[in-house]
């Protein structure tokens, strides 16, 4: 296929690379410029999202937040200006489920199709082509896009209609944040009590408490490697979506709110760009003890 890819950051860059390696022609745009390594693989750099949409049959976006998607799709020289009937737009960003439905309606009014397909797995998953991809939209559009998704991920699921993919991603981010908090508390407790947190983590990896978060983020907490990864400020954006959605639904998410406050504490200490495993630092500050000192 001729595939457009807009947004070539930590996640988008390897994702676009997998599409090229899979034999697809990729037309790329990034507001900071198309990285040399993507162009070296064969991507064609475009001057605008409009140009991407003109040249591609399928247009993918991977940008930070809801306003960024709106600008890329519907702003001046945006994707919508370059679309023609029958093309497919796939947003792989993590954004508002409500706004996603509006975006889908606008794209469909142009005679095109729209999928929301946010991902989980972080930079590691993007590089390894092992992302979880949660999709919302028409089944026919999903089947058309499935070969592309399979080049980037290993767990690809059609959740439901437009917006359902983003709703699933919000649920994912709630679970991830709360599990990071649980791992941080457990390792901090063990370390403060005098146990070696590395050995505690090793033991827990063989029991019911095991998780991908314990494996990857627990190691980050012990080794003090807080370069993203997935930035705290981006996880905060996702938890804002969760808390706003919960308010609209009349739903209480008390531990999600607590996780967000811990992220707020990290940001107050300059941690907006830390990996989200850096949440442990907020708990460490309250305990006056670092996990690595166990």
| Long-range Cβ contact pairs of 14-20 (< 8 A, separation 24 or more) | 14/123, 14/126, 14/127, 14/129, 15/60, 15/62, 15/92, 15/126, 15/131, 15/152, 16/43, 17/41, 18/129, 18/151, 18/152, 19/148, 19/151, 19/152
| Long-range Cβ contact pairs of 24-27 (< 8 A, separation 24 or more) | 24/148, 24/151, 25/1, 27/2, 27/3, 27/51, 27/52, 27/55, 27/56
* Six token digits for residue 105: 């309606």
Q: Residue 156: in which H helix or E strand, if any? A: strand 153-160
29, 54 Cβ separation under 8 angstroms: no
Is 71 known to be catalytic? Answer: no
CA separation for the pair 152, 161 (Å, rounded):
21
Tally the C-alpha atoms within 13 A of residue 254's C-alpha that lie toward its C-beta.
0
| Active-site position among 101, 169, 223, 281 | 169
DSSP type of residue 121: S
Q: Catalytic residue positions?
A: 169
């Amino acid at each position: 296929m001729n595939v457009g890819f807009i947004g070539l950051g930590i996640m988008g860059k390897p994702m676009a690379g997998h599409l090229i390696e899979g034999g697809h022609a990729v037309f790329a745009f990034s507001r900071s410029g198309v990285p040399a390594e993507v162009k070296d693989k064969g991507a064609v750099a475009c001057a605008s999202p409009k140009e991407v949409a003109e040249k591609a049959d399928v247009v993918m976006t991977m940008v930070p937040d809801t306003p960024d998607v709106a600008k890329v799709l519907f702003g001046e020289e945006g994707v919508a200006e370059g679309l023609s009937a029958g093309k497919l737009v796939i947003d792989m960003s993590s954004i508002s489920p409500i706004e996603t439905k509006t975006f889908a309606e606008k794209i469909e009014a142009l005679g095109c199709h729209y999928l929301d397909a946010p991902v989980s797995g972080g930079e590691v998953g993007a590089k390894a082509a092992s992302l979880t991809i949660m999709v919302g939209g028409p089944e026919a559009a999903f089947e058309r896009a499935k070969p592309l998704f399979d080049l980037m991920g290993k767990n690809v699921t059609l959740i439901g209609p437009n917006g359902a993919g983003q709703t699933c991603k919000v649920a994912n981010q709630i679970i991830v944040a709360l599990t990071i908090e649980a791992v941080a508390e457990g390792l901090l407790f063990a370390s403060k009590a005098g146990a070696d947190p590395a050995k505690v983590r090793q033991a827990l990896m063989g029991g019911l408490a095991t998780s991908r978060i314990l494996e990857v983020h627990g190691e980050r907490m012990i080794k003090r490697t807080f370069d993203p990864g997935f930035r705290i400020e981006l996880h905060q954006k996702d938890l804002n979506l969760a808390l706003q959605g919960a308010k609209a639904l009349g739903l209480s998410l008390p531990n999600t709110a607590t996780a967000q406050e811990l992220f707020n504490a990290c940001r107050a200490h300059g941690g907006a760009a830390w990996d989200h495993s850096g949440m442990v630092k907020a708990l460490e500050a309250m305990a006056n003890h670092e996990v690595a000192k166990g």
